Every structure is written in structure tokens, then in C-alpha cells.
Structure 1
């Protein structure tokens, strides 16, 4: 007996696997990341949840402080460390123009992304996939992370095309990070 409860209701990926905790994406410089749709560690409104659970898969509006002057590109990642998976589930990966300081609601839609937004593969398809925690699994934490990259990300590892690269491959290819910001929200189902 290991003393560990591996039942699906208890299993969680954990915070250690977040992009935020990757040594390759660490830096002391910070960006202030906010949303007019929810407060840090507040509840994410249902409209931003997945269609599978009654939401609209509408990405929330986000704002952030300007990136350092030598930023080549911004990388936005949304992860769920409470997913019952080996690593946090990736809800969105997108590359943004370095000059951007915000996104309107719905800007991460794969079919119609905002100007300056290049949506990549997530854990399911591409673009923003809203919260969809399993019923009775408790509230899940959704971690919105933005990274200011020193060099543009043009290909995945071993030269793979970015549009077909898996989210973890994109994160591994990100390179030097000049600054980063984080915003956490919660969403649960009963």
C-alpha cells in the first residue's frame, strides 16, 4: 500500500508541471497580468467555460503591462494543474505581437483570432478551450501565463511547424524569457 489515493476524484496533475515552474521559462522580471472578467484567484464566469459544460468557450479579456523594449514576441499559455492528468492540461497556447498589452474577449478563437494573435495547438484542437473540470472533482485552478520572449518563436523542436507542434514542444522551444506574468482563476462543477 502506497498511502496515496489515486481515485479519479483525488488525482491532480500538480503545480510543479506548470510552464510557470519550468526553469527554462523563469525570470525575475514581471509583467502585471489582469482581467476585467475575474480577479486573481477569483471565480471565472461561466461564459468563459467550455461549451461541453454549458459555457461559450469565450476567452476572457486580458491586459498586461508593456513588455521590455527588446521583446521579440509574447507567449500566452493557459493551464489547469488540477486536471486528473500526468501534467497540467493545456487550455490555450498563443503567440502575440510584442507590442500588445491586452486582448479583448474572444480574441483567442481559433477560427477568428484577433489581429496580432497566432493561436497554436492546445490539449484539444487549437485556440482557447474553456474550463471543463470533471463533475464532483472540485474547483480547478486555471493559470493564465504570459512570457516575453527574447527571440521570435518560429518553429518547434527539431524544426517542426509551430501549428502542428504539441503544447509542451512549443514551451520547450520558447528560449530566453525577459519577463513574465500570471493570473489564476477558479472554476468548478457540482
Structure 2
């Protein structure tokens, strides 16, 4: 017989915040999608390694990220990582890093400050962890953006 948390996850399987709750869909984060965001740990819509999963589940180590396509006029970069599959009214933010220098093209494994890795409810199904990178001009307007979606699930 499955444990209590697995039964709870299965009961809430159809409850999700929804993709529209991501920062990506807020008007102030709209912009050209010219940044290509990648990770050597997983591809877009592929399973994230257990090493990235949160405390008590995995190693709680942020994955390495790399990107291209930041425009010359960018003053800074902001990275936001969110899970829109949580059974809540809003997406959960797993990391937010602001004021990344615009000439930066990568973050090493374990290099995301404040990383809180995936810890979905067992049995709830796959959760999407959306890495959203925004390039901002000197006024704080988005001049480019890119996205990488990783997937993590606990049985």
C-alpha cells in the first residue's frame, strides 16, 4: 500500500497552478525569445538528474546552465526557476538570481545561489521546472529572453 504522501499526490494529480502562472507569461517579462538556454545535465523537456532534486530527495545541487543570444544592449540578466505543476494557485519559485553581468554566458553546476531543487509530492506526476533567463536594459525592460524546461517526478 502506498504511503500517505503518495496517496495525497495521487489525489491532487489534476490540481496544478498552470503554465500561465509563470513569470514568463507576465506582461512585464515579455520580450523577444532570442536567448538559447541549455544545460549539459538535461535537454528541453527531459528528466532532470536526481542530483538536482531538493534536500531529502536528491543532492540539491543546481544544474550547470549555458546560454547564447544576449543582445549587446543588455545591462543585466535575471534567472527565475519555477514549477508550475504544484497543486497551488501560484507557481513555486525554486531560484531567483538577479543582477547577473550581461557578459556572463554560463553558471557552473552548484552555482545558482539560493537553489531549492525539485521535491514534488510523490505520486503527483511529472513536474516542469522552468528555467527562465531574461536580459534587461538599463531601465529594467526585457530586451531578450530564453527558456529551458526540465522535468522531475517522484513515484
Q: 1:134 aligns with which of 117, 121, 128?
A: 121
Aligned length: 144
Tell me, in whole angstroms, the C-alpha distance in 1 between the residues paired with 2:79 and 2:31: 15
Q: Which runs of 5+ in 1 are unaligned?
A: 1-6, 110-126, 153-174
Cα displacement (A) at 1:8: 2.5
Q: Which residue of 1 aligns with 2:86?
A: 83
With CA pairs under 8 Å and 6+ residues apart, which has the higher RCO, 1 or 2? 2
Aligned to 2:51, what secondary structure does the other structure show?
A: helix
* 1:96-175 → structure 2 map (5 Å cutoff): 96-109=100-113, 127-151=114-138, 175=140
**Contact kept in structure 2, 1:66 and 1:101, CA below 8 Å:** no
**Contact kept in structure 2, 1:31 and 1:64, CA below 8 Å:** yes
**Contact kept in structure 1, 2:34 and 2:69, CA below 8 Å:** no
Runs of 4+ that moved beyond 4 A: none
Q: Which residue of 2 aligns with 1:181?
A: 146
Q: TM-score, normalized by length of structure 2?
A: 0.89
Aligned CA distance change for structure 1 residues 27 and 137 (closer, same or farther; 3 Å): same
Q: 1:68 aligns with which of 68, 71, 77?
A: 71
Aligned to 1:20, what secondary structure does the other structure show?
A: helix
Tell me, in whole angstroms, the C-alpha distance in 2 between the residues paired with 1:63 and 1:139: 24
Kindly provide the CA deviation profile for residues 18-58 of structure 1, in whole angstroms up to 9, marking residues without a partner as x: 111111111124100000000110000000000122x1110
**Contact kept in structure 2, 1:35 and 1:63, CA below 8 Å:** yes
Cα displacement (A) at 1:10: 2.1
More strand per residue: 2
Q: TM-score, normalized by length of structure 1?
A: 0.73
Kindly provide the CA deviation profile for residues 77-127 of structure 1, in whole angstroms up to 9, marking residues without a partner as x: 000000111111000000211110111100014xxxxxxxxxxxxxxxxx1
**Contact kept in structure 1, 2:53 and 2:61, CA below 8 Å:** yes
Q: Which residue of 2 aligns with 1:23?
A: 27
